[in-house]
Amino acid sequence: MPGNNIFAYNPSSQKSQSKIFEREKSKIKKISDIIRKRKDYKCEASKLVIDIIIDRVFIKTTDKIMENFHRRDEEFWINNNCKGCKLCEKICPVNNIEFNLDKPVWKHNCEQCTACIQYCPMEAIQWGKKTIKRKRYRDPNINFIELIMR
C-alpha cells in the first residue's frame, strides 16, 4: 500500500502509487494461493538494520499517541474553503463527525483513518499545522462520485 499518513508526510505521486499497486498484485496472488492450499509459509521480514531501528522508534512514538488516541481529533479544524457539503460526515466510518451551523464538529471517537481530510473536495479540513500544504491521498479504487451520493 502506498504511504498515506497525511499527519506525517505527503503521499507519493500517482505514478509511484500505480507501480506499487501493480507490484503488489503478484504478491496478493501468491499469498492467496498459499492460504487456499494451506501451505506453511514464513512471512517476509525486513533484514535492514535501519528498518529495525525505525520500527523500535515507531513503537515508542505509537505508544505515546495511543494514550489519547480518540481525543486527537481535537486538532482538526476547518479553513474558509468549507462549503458544508457534509462528505466528511458521510465518509467517517465511526460516525464521529456531525454538522453544527454547516460546519463539521468531531465527537472524540476518531479512529484517525484520515478519510475526512483526504476526501474533502475543498481540502478544507486540516489537522494542526501539519496538513495545511500537504497533498491528499485518494485511493484509486474508491469512486468519489459514489461517496458524494451516499
| Domain ranges across the chain | 14-149
pLDDT in tens, 94-128: 999 999 989 999 999 998 899 999 999 999 999 99
Q: Would you state the pLDDT for residue 64?
A: 67
Q: Would you state the pLDDT for residue 139?
A: 81
Burial of residue 125 (number of CB atoms within 10 Å: 0-12, 13-18, 19+): buried
Name the stretches of the chain with pLDDT < 70: 1, 44-52, 54-56, 62-66, 144-150
| HSE value, Cβ hemisphere, 13 Å, CA-based, for 36 | 6
- Full DSSP string of 1-38: -----TTT-PPPPHHHHHHHHHHHHHHHHHHHHHHHTT
pTM, full prediction: 0.68
Q: Which CATH class is domain 14-149?
A: alpha beta
**Does an H or E element contain 125, and which?**
strand 125-127
Q: Would you state the pLDDT for residue 147?
A: 63
What 8-state DSSP symbol labels residue 75?
A: G
Q: Would you state the pLDDT for residue 51?
A: 64
Instruction: For 94, list phi and psi in degrees, rounded to 5.
Output: -115, 15
